[in-house]
Amino acid sequence: MKPWRALTRQLLDTHCHVFDYQDPEAVLAAVCAADMRVHVMSQSTAEFATNAEHCDGVRVRPALGLFPTLVTPDTVETLVAEFAAALPRTRLVGEVGLDFVTDDPALRSSQILAFREVLALCDGAGGKVLSVHSRRSAAEAIEVVQAATSPVILHWFSGTVEQVLRAGTWFSVNAAMLRSRKGRERVAAMPRERVLLETDGPYVTVGGRPGQPLDLRHVAEGLARLWEVSLADAVERLAENGRELFSAQS
Tell me the per-residue pLDDT of 158-202, one tens digit each, with 9 for 90 and over: 999 999 999 999 999 999 999 999 999 999 999 999 999 999 999
The answer to the question of residue 203 being in a domain is yes
Tell me the per-residue pLDDT of 42-93, one tens digit each, with 9 for 90 and over: 999 999 999 999 999 899 999 999 999 999 999 999 999 999 999 999 999 9
The answer to the question of residue 61 being in a domain is yes
CATH number for position 214: 3.20.20.140
pTM (2 decimals)? Answer: 0.96
Tell me the per-residue pLDDT of 4-23, one tens digit each, with 9 for 90 and over: 778 889 999 999 999 999 99
The answer to the question of residue 2 being in a domain is no
Tell me the per-residue pLDDT of 116-164, one tens digit each, with 9 for 90 and over: 999 999 999 999 999 999 999 999 999 999 999 999 999 999 999 999 9
> Do strands 205-206 and 209-210 pair parallel, antiparallel, or not at all (unpaired)?
antiparallel
Number of structural domains, the chain? Answer: 1
Q: Which domain holds residue 107?
A: 13-248
Q: How many CB atoms lie within 10 A of CB 113?
A: 15
Non-local CB neighbours of 20 within 8 Å, separated by 6+ positions: 202, 203
d(CA 227, CA 97): 29
* Helix 105-125 with 76-86: angle, nearest 10 deg: 20
Identify the three-state secondary structure at position 205. Answer: strand
pLDDT at 1: 53
Q: Where are the beta strands (DSSP E) in 37-144?
A: 37-40, 60-62, 92-99, 129-135
The answer to the question of residue 6 being in a domain is no
pLDDT at 181: 98
Classify residue 199 by its DSSP letter: -
The answer to the question of residue 7 being in a domain is no
The answer to the question of residue 87 being in a domain is yes
